[in-house]
Structure 1
Amino acid sequence: MGPLRKIRLVLSVACASLICGQSIAQPLQTKTILDVNGFERPIPAFTVGIPQGWDLTGGVKWRQTTCSSSANQAEWQASANDGSDRQIVFFPVETWYWGSMLDQMPQFANSGGTGCPAARVFDAPSYLQMVITARRPGVRIIGMRPRPDATAQMQQAISSQQLPGGMQVRFEAVEALIAYNMNGKEMRESLMTIVQFMRTPTVDMNGGMGGYIMSATSFGVIGLKAPNGQLDFNLMEQVRRSLQFDPGYERRMAAYYAKVNRSRRAARPSGVSAQAQLNKTYSEISDIQHKGYMDRSAIEDSMQARTTDMILEQQGYVTGYGEVVKLPNAYDRAYELQNGGFVVTDSPSFDPYLDTGVDGTEMQREEY
């Protein structure tokens, strides 16, 4: 393999121990996060890169809830085993909603069609503040900063889409630095989240279309804590970028959400009451908000699939068997090797056999 060719051999969508296309400050080991009780057997849900020698605990847990997007909760921690108290944490995805009718009709605040909680939270800093209060009570917030770099590609992808029904979609990312004392040691922790906000026009109290419903989904909260002076912001960014959905789990969850949404629509009450209108709007928003897990229309599917790939920095490619595999999007070409592996490269002169010793075929990009 030529030393000047920018080629990465990929044995899985997690790029083994590499963060493809990124400058790596330290080697990472790929760990699998399991969903142990959501299906007929434990299955891989995500992969993530953590520092060599760190221990990973946690996984995906299911809970009884009518908010389908919060049914499976991914929460995990990766801890250094050198006594330094350094730890990476991940808090679960959360979904909430609010609407113009709820100011006048608070009795409907937690009875919408999605079953998700109501909250007057309209921006990412407010959400992260809420998480810090719940998860880290009594800490000092040193500061917050926006992270437009983490949402630029997602926002660009959404801006090119024709959204249905006057819907407006925006992404916000924010990072906070907090301080606290733990076992007599002064600690610092960085916490970062990305939140997707959807605002859709809806009926108002007068029967017109002057109202709105807002639905929001956080893509989890990732954090890194360490003793004061030892916080490595680059490490947290490396780990964040390494998170990858398992393709098989993505398909299983797509089927789950499609079933939930079909059941919700079938059970929707008839009539023209304000509650019925709210349920209709909540159900329609729920259908389009969860990483491609909806079956309503081609334009909605395309928007959500493209957004998910932007978030995970991946691109779908079609294999010789007609299946779609997700690979890093930082390269121009992808090849399927006869030994079952994949290669991503931006070299126009790449030859699978000459460069890897294994025959292979170039794959076509998935069409959204």
Structure 2
Amino acid sequence: MSKLMRRTTHPLLALFTALLLGACGSEPDEPRPYAGGPEGGETVRSAGQPDGARALRTAATADRPAGGVVMREHPLRDPGMNNIVASVVLVPEGWQLEGGLSRPSNQLYNMPVLADVKITAPDGRAVHFFPSLSFEFNHASPGQALQPTLGGNLYLALPESPGRWFLQMAQMSPDPTVSNLQLVSEEPVPELTQQLRQQSAQLFQIVEQGNATTASMGFGQSFDTQATKLVLSYQQDGKAFEETVLIAWQYMVLVQQGQVASGHWSVPLMRSFRGAPGSDYMNDPVLKAIVQSIRANPAWEAEMQRYWRELARIKQKGASDRSASWQQHNRKMQQINGEISDIIAGGYQRRSAIQDGMHSRSVDALRDETPYTTPSGETVKLPSFYDHVYTDGNGTYILNNDSLYNPNTDPSVNSRDWNRIEAQR
């Protein structure tokens, strides 16, 4: 997770000024009065409240006209980390906080924490912090929708658009209290899209460079990241609402012969504001104050960063180990010979080569590429999505994840000889 972003006055950009880094545990703490005024309204001492409590007096506080809204600090805890406080959020007195933070199955190691929190006013206004989600798909070997994959994600094909995906998710897991759900509009958010693409400039460049190499082989990769705004309308418990959802999403896919074959995509950030149809809920100062009040616990944040670093190390090691078993004896002999050479020559050149190799593997991991040795002894870098690779020796490759598949027995392609090639160590 990234740290809190710089605040802005744009009503949509304000949704991205803070990230919800956790959610409440099973036993809520006693909320504490807020000791500092959030943006968006005048702060005044609230009569009859404990020392340190403050109220936010705005035009949006019709439910409490005399004393304004008292914002109370709620600790949000991670049950998977001994209920450590992950972050705190301000919740107006009398509003309801629903949901929380959960730890899914270890199979979903790319989504170790799912935070789903909704804060609702008595009149139905609401802020919703949706969980971050990651998906993958392979049209050659389809999986079951929303089931864990070996890659640590949920299986789901890349949708036509975020709006279509949102409606698909609502249909697959319907809320019995919601009816007449409609997608009113869907449009990009240029300012945020530009920021997201600037942050991913290096990845765009890496994909472009890789495609220059693989274009002649008939495949390449496609990457993009952008922000989209959805406007939804629906009824909940018989009451009409409008909800504006801001989604940041990205994808990296493998394209073969002009068709998307496989890949992964994610929704790292999704937030929403809700209000009555026709009202100016996107500029509601109380809703904005809730979003802007998120504060992360640095200790929790540091533990999550450690998790991601360790996961990256394991993934890189696993990529090397998957194709290594049959070469184990050969590698052992090479290691012994190398150690003998080190004793004789002092080992400097070998250590230098190892460092260069580690750097090269790190770059390949970032690119999602793996180097292979062809029958002619040349090195070719191919996408890392596949465990089994065959070549005809003339620049054509078959990539798949089926250990039982052999192209030499496949009538559609066995008019020529295919040799399996292995990833370099």
TM-score, scaled relative to structure 2: 0.49
Q: Which residue does the alignment assign to 2:155?
A: 118
**Distance (Å, rounded) in 1 between the aligned partners of 2:222 and 2:197:** 11
Match of 2:136 in 1: 97
Q: Which amino acid aligns with 2:250?
A: Q
Matching residue of 2:114: 73
Q: 1:190 to 1:210 in 2, by over 3 A?
A: closer
CA distance in 1, matches of 2:306, 2:249: 24
Change (3 A) 1:259 1:211: same
SS in structure 2 of the partner of residue 104 of structure 1? coil
State whether structure 2 residue 325 is matched by structure 1 residue 270: no
Q: 1:238 to 1:163 in 2, by over 3 A?
A: farther
CA spacing shift, 1:64–1:125, aligned 2, 3 Å: same
CA gap of 1:34–1:233, structure 2 versus 1, over 3 A, is: same
Letter in 2 for 1:155: R
Q: Which runs of 5+ in 2 are unaligned?
A: 11-38, 43-55, 57-70, 212-220, 325-360, 367-425
**Cα distance 1:156–1:240, how it changes in 2: closer, same or farther (>3 A)?**
farther
Deviation at 1:178, TM superposition (A): 2.0
For 1:270, the aligned partner's letter is R
**CA–CA distance in 2 between the matches of 1:26 and 1:146?**
30
Task: In structure 1, list runs of 5 or more residues that go unmatched.
Answer: 1-12, 273-295, 302-368
**Distance verdict in 2 for CA 1:210–1:91, change over 3 Å:** closer
How many pairs does the alignment contain?
Answer: 252
Match among 256, 270, 293 for residue 221 of structure 1: 270
Separation in 1 of the partners of 2:241 and 2:128? 14
Cα distance, 1:113 vs structure 2: 3.7
**Preserved CA contact (<8 Å) 2:181 2:233:** yes
Contact 1:147–1:173 (Cα < 8 Å) also in 2: yes
Distance 2:323 2:84 in 1: 42
Q: Distance in 1 between matches of 2:288 and 2:190?
A: 14
Deviation at 1:265, TM superposition (A): 5.1
- Are the equivalent residues in 2 in contact too, given 1:45–1:60 (CA < 8 A)? no
CA shift, 1:271, in A, is 3.7
Task: Return the index of the structure with the highest Cα Rg.
Answer: 2
Q: Is the 8 A contact 1:174 1:194 kept in 2?
A: yes
The answer on whether the counterparts of 2:72 and 2:93 sit within 8 Å (CA) in structure 1 is: no
- The alignment partner of 2:154 has SS state of coil
User: In the alignment, which of 162, 168, 171 is matched to residue 225 of structure 2?
Assistant: 171
Amino acid at match of 1:184: G
SS for the counterpart of 1:127 is: helix
The separation in 2 between residues aligned to 1:66 and 1:259, in whole angstroms, is 16
The percentage of counterpart residues that share the same residue type is: 18
Structure 1 letter corresponding to 2:270: V
Q: Larger deviation: 121-130 or 29-38?
A: 29-38
Q: Hey, what's the Cα distance between the residues in 1 that align with 2:117 and 2:289?
A: 16
Residues 142, 124 of structure 1: CA spacing in aligned structure 2 closer, same or farther, 3 A cutoff? closer
TM-score under structure 1 length normalisation: 0.55
User: Alignment partner of 2:80: what SS?
Assistant: coil
Which secondary structure does the structure 2 equivalent of 1:114 belong to? coil
Tell me the equivalent position of 2:243: 189
CA 50–299 in structure 1, closer or farther in 2 if over 3 Å, else same: farther
Matched, 1:234 2:283: yes
Q: Root-mean-square deviation (CA), in Å?
A: 4.0
SS in 2 for 1:77: strand
Q: 1:33 to 1:261 in 2, by over 3 A?
A: farther
1:153 is paired with a residue of what secondary structure?
helix
* Deviations 1:97-148 (CA, angstroms, capped at 9, x unpaired): 12xxx32333699675413122222443333333443455641222222222
Counterpart residue identity of residue 300, structure 2: Y
Aligned equivalents of 2:148, 2:240: Cα separation in 1: 44
**CA separation of 1:146/1:72 partners in 2, compared to 1, >3 Å: closer, same or farther?**
same
Q: CA deviation at 1:73?
A: 0.7
Select which of 167, 170, 186 maps to 1:129: 167
Q: C-alpha distance in 2, partners of 1:33/1:128?
A: 29
RCO greater where, 1 or 2, for CA within 8 Å and sep 6 or more?
Answer: 1
* DSSP-derived class of the 2:200 partner: helix
Deviations 1:268-327 (A, max 9, x none): 66349xxxxxxxxxxxxxxxxxxxxxxx848989xxxxxxxxxxxxxxxxxxxxxxxxxx
Task: Decide whether the 8 Å contact of 1:197 with 1:215 is kept in 2.
Answer: yes
- Corresponding residue for residue 346 of structure 1: none
Q: Aligned partners of 2:198 and 2:235: how far apart in 1?
A: 41
2:197 is the alignment partner of 1:143: no
Residues 196, 226 of structure 2: 8 Å contact kept: no
The corresponding residue for 1:63 is 104
Per-residue CA distance 1:334-360 (angstroms, 9 max, x = gap)? xxxxxxxxxxxxxxxxxxxxxxxxxxx
Letter in 1 for 2:268: F
2:234 to 171, 180, 184: 180
Q: State the 1:56 CA deviation.
A: 3.3
Secondary structure at the aligned position of 2:152 is classed as coil
1:8-46 per-position Cα deviation (integer Å, ceiling 9, x unaligned): xxxxx879xxx845375446758455233111x322323
Distance 1:52 1:300 in 2: 48
